[in-house]
């Protein structure tokens, strides 16, 4: 057999194996997972840890725009805040756990700050999961207000005694089409470093689904090319629950 023929056989075998693996994945359905490096807490969540440890009530507030509200989900029960509440209640039956959804379609951080007092501070949450940056990115607006608004909000939450977890934009075709999408992710990371707040790296988790696990984009993104579907919302909720369980166990990675 010539070298060219051997190479052709090898390539054909590889492609057949890849196709077989893909067919098997599609038959079984996608697996919700993320690299361990993306599910590490660098900073403690003391209020969450205390509530989960002593069996007391825990209030989490999901703050953001349409992917917090749950645009693309088939029902209100399949949004990520609803699924997070259900999953945490299952894992911690002794706790009275509530996840309040304060997502509003189309919001940039400036709109979020206009409703911050009523929608966030008045709720007196133990933890705020703040999803920010996507609409500023999609609208082509200046990123600097995101930094200023989120920094101001985190300081007010800290003063009230709440833990904070940031969430960056989703990995989706419309986000990827923006040439500055990585700059927005960097900005959210900078906010986290300056304010000593962890970032739930949704972008990298979803990128791993596409690039690491080779899931087609429509496995987790709806036809609009932007919003997550039921499977993605559920998976994000489960991964967040894993992260919060680490907080309750006092598991914080060395910086």
The predicted-structure confidence for 181-227, as pLDDT tens digits, reads as follows: 999 999 999 999 999 999 999 999 999 999 999 999 999 999 999 99
- Cα gap 60→163, rounded to integer Å: 9
Cα Rg, the chain, nearest whole Å: 20
Query: What is residue 29's predicted lDDT score, i.e. its pLDDT?
Result: 83
**pLDDT band for position 252 (cuts 50, 70, 90):** low
Query: In the prediction, which pLDDT does 14 show?
Result: 39
Give the mean model confidence (pLDDT) for residues 146-172. 98
pLDDT at site 18: 43
Q: What pLDDT, on a 0 to 100 scale, did the predictor assign at position 6?
A: 41
Mean pLDDT within 241-254? 79
Beta-strand pair 198-200/97-103: unpaired
Region 24-30 average pLDDT: 66
Q: Would you say the pTM of this structure is higher than 0.85? A: yes
What residue has token string 């894992």? 91
Task: State both tokens at 104.
Answer: 């509003």
- What confidence tier does 237 reach under pLDDT thresholds 50, 70, 90? very high
Q: Using CA atoms, how far apart are residues 21 and 213, in angstroms rounded to an integer? A: 11
What is the model's pLDDT at position 251?
63
β-strand 127-131 against 163-167: which pairing, if any?
A: parallel
Using the predicted structure, report yes or no on whether residue 253 has a pLDDT greater than 90: no
Q: Choose the weakest-confidence range: 23-37, 71-85, 172-186.
A: 23-37
What's the burial of 151, exposed, middle or buried (CB within 10 Å: 0-12/13-18/19+)?
middle
pLDDT at 249: 73
pLDDT at 5 over 70: no
Rounded mean pLDDT of 165-170?
98
d(CA 91, CA 241): 9
Distance CA 102, CA 127 (A): 13
Tell me the C-alpha distance between 48 and 62, whole Å: 14
Per-residue model confidence (pLDDT) at position 11: 44
DSSP state of 121: G
* Residue with token string 């005694």: 161
Name the 3-class secondary structure at 231: helix
pLDDT of 13 over the 60 cut: no
Q: With contact defined as beta carbons under 8 Å apart, do 67 and 129 qualify?
A: no
pLDDT at 248: 77
- Token pair of 233, please? 């919302």
Q: How confident is the model at residue 254 (pLDDT cuts 50, 70, 90)?
A: very low
pLDDT tens-place string over residues 103-157: 999 999 999 999 999 999 999 999 999 999 999 999 999 999 999 999 999 999 9
């Amino acid at each position: 057999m010539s070298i060219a023929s051997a190479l052709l056989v090898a390539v054909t075998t590889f492609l057949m194996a890849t196709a077989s693996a893909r067919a098997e994945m599609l038959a079984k359905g996608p697996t919700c997972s993320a690299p361990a490096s993306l599910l590490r807490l660098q900073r403690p969540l003391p209020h969450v840890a205390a509530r989960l440890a002593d069996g007391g009530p825990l209030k989490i507030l999901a703050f953001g725009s349409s992917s917090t509200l749950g645009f693309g989900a088939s029902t209100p029960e399949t949004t990520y805040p609803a699924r997070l509440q259900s999953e945490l209640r299952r894992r911690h039956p002794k706790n009275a756990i509530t996840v309040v959804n304060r997502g509003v379609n189309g919001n940039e951080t400036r709109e979020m700050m206009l409703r911050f007092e009523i929608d966030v501070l008045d709720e007196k949450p133990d933890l705020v999961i703040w999803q920010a940056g996507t609409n500023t990115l999609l609208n082509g607006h200046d990123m600097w207000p995101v930094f200023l608004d989120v920094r101001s909000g985190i300081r007010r939450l800290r003063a009230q005694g709440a833990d904070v977890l940031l969430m960056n934009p989703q990995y989706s075709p419309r986000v990827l089409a923006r040439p500055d999408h990585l700059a927005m992710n960097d900005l959210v990371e900078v906010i986290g470093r300056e304010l000593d707040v962890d970032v739930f790296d949704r972008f990298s988790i979803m990128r791993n689904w596409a690039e690491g696990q080779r899931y087609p984009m429509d496995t987790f993104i709806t036809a609009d090319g932007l919003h997550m579907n039921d499977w993605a919302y559920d998976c994000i909720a489960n991964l967040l629950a894993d992260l919060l369980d680490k907080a309750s166990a006092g598991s914080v990675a060395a910086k």
